[in-house]
Structure 1
Amino acid sequence: MNKILIGAIGAVALGLSAPASAADLAARPYTKAPAPMIATIYDWSGFYIGINGGGGSSRKCWDFVAPTVGTLFADGCHNAVGGTVGGQVGYRWQSANWVFGLEGQGNWADFSGDNIGTTTALRNRSKIDAFGLITGQVGYAWNNVLFYVKGGGAVVGDSYRGYTVATGLEFDRASETRWGGVVGAGLEFGFAPNWSVGIEYDHLFLGNRTIAFAGSGNAAALGAFTRSERIRQDVDIGLVRVNYRWGGPIIAKY
């Protein structure tokens, strides 16, 4: 009898404790699956427009051309240096990491310098007032960093003056628009989806031209021919550039 009573009490106790144990088990929390990582790729494709500014130096060497015989006599060299500001517009397209482009650029400039002619004894002064570049580009991009090289045609606006050393008065003058070639390289950084900033170096090959001068200022015969000078020049330019691009936004790649 006692065994039966003890067994019954144990069964009741077991039945009562089972629901309590189940209730004590905490519910498993819901965990959201982690979102896939997104890698952003900067796309350099599209049209762009921008501004630039910097400085440059033009190496000019003058040779006096003797009348009738055309013999050249060295008339000295100088560096015409100064600042420049301008703008550029272009288009780029990207294939994998390679970037290709076309660009037109126009700048105002004030590259000036002078020397006293070893043959003419005049103070020969030169100035580049403006220049333009039409170039193609090939570059390689590391996401939002682009290194490129460029090459094409260049044009500059040159003016020349001759001054009498003793008086400092203008004696004669000439001007020209000179065409040549350009090569350069740049490094550009995309700091926003459509904005980039960069630095660029350009070298202009402008060869030599024979320029006819005419009397002005202090000359005895204004407008009359005074001399011919063969002037050769190259130009080195360093620029900081800021571009705004439309088209080809940042691409999100999963």
Structure 2
Amino acid sequence: MRKSALGLLAASAALALAASTAQAADLPSRYSPAPAYNALPVFTWTGFYAGLNAGYGWNVGDSRYYDPAFGTSYGKRKGGFVGGAQAGYNYQFGMFVAGVETDLQYAAVGNKGASYGNIYYPGDSDGFFGTIRARGGVAFDRALVYGTAGFAYGDIGGNKGYDPILGHHSGDEINWGWTIGGGVEYAITNNFTAKVEGLYVDIDTKDNYALGGRANVDRDAEFGVLRAGLNYKFN
């Protein structure tokens, strides 16, 4: 009889344990489900862009009298306002960014004239220049440090000759050269970026003074440009 009582007790305990386990299985889990994260879009420099810029240009040439760009007389270098627009395309692969950019700049050099001997005869209009450049750099998330180089062109000055008897004669023309520089650009938002950029520009301007062996003599327009710009990046 004792064995029967022990067996009944064991069976009752087993039944109670099974019922408790089944009830616990129906209860909600104590652990919360894994949170679902919506990843924020990663900024990329890839895409087309366009914008405006403004800055300052100054002569860096070694002209003895007047340099065709921005003017210099007896070693005194001068400068002036430059401003314009730019457009380009970037492609980002990893941390590296490569692209192309072109710009067209108004140059308030006030120096489209000619030098005859040690006398300067000022022109009557300001000049312009533009560039077509490759860009390459390294991106640190929204910051881009880059170098740039390419072609330059423009009518920056020095294209008027002077004859003491006949006076001025016009020789306005577009000349070609090269440029190199670099800058830093930062993405303020996903669409707007701001940059600071410096360029060295060398345009192969020629003297068209017809006497004294001065015709077609190279008088390169050499100048530096420091400018700030704002771009809109198209998604």
TM-score greater than 0.5 by the shorter chain: yes
CA distance in 2, matches of 1:78, 1:226: 27
Displacement, 1:153? 0.1
Q: 2:234 is matched with which residue?
A: 246
Q: 2:144 is matched with which residue?
A: 146
Among all aligned residue pairs of Structure 1 and Structure 2, give the percentage whose two residues are the same amino acid: 23
Residues 162 and 76 of structure 1: CA distance in aligned 2, closer, same or farther (over 3 Å): farther
Q: 1:221 is matched with which residue?
A: none
Whichever structure has more strand as a proportion of its residues is 1
Aligned residues of 1:140 and 1:146 also touching (Cα < 8 A):
yes
Q: Which amino acid aligns with 2:132?
A: I
Residues 80 and 129 of structure 1: CA distance in aligned 2, closer, same or farther (over 3 Å): farther
Q: TM-score when scaled to structure 2?
A: 0.68
Q: 2:57 is matched with which residue?
A: 56
Q: Aligned with 1:176: secondary structure?
A: coil
Residues 80 and 196 of structure 1: CA distance in aligned 2, closer, same or farther (over 3 Å): same
Q: Aligned with 1:44: secondary structure?
A: coil
Aligned ranges 1:62-211 → 2 under 5 Å: 79-112=77-110, 120-125=117-122, 129-160=127-158, 171-173=167-169, 174-207=171-204, 209-211=205-207
Larger Rg: 1
Note the residue ranges of structure 2 that are not aligned, 5 or more in a row.
1-27, 67-72
Aligned residues of 2:112 and 2:156 also touching (Cα < 8 A):
no
Displacement, 1:104? 1.1
Displacement, 1:54? 0.5
Residues 128 and 81 of structure 1: CA distance in aligned 2, closer, same or farther (over 3 Å): farther
Aligned residues of 1:124 and 1:162 also touching (Cα < 8 A):
no
Displacement, 1:28? 9.7
Q: Which amino acid aligns with 1:85?
A: G
CA distance in 2, matches of 1:202, 1:115: 24
Aligned residues of 1:181 and 1:206 also touching (Cα < 8 A):
yes
Q: TM-score when scaled to structure 1?
A: 0.63
- How many residue pairs align between the two structures? 193
CA distance in 2, matches of 1:115, 1:204: 19
Residues 128 and 232 of structure 1: CA distance in aligned 2, closer, same or farther (over 3 Å): farther
Aligned residues of 2:90 and 2:99 also touching (Cα < 8 A):
yes
Render the CA deviation track for 1:121-162: whole Å, top value 9, x for unaligned: 422447761110001111110000011111110012133468
Displacement, 1:120? 2.0
Displacement, 1:198? 0.8
Aligned residues of 1:203 and 1:237 also touching (Cα < 8 A):
yes
Matched, 1:42 2:39: no
Q: Aligned with 1:236: secondary structure?
A: strand
Q: 1:252 is matched with which residue?
A: none
Aligned residues of 2:137 and 2:144 also touching (Cα < 8 A):
yes
CA distance in 2, matches of 1:226, 1:157: 22
CA distance in 1, matches of 2:54, 2:196: 10
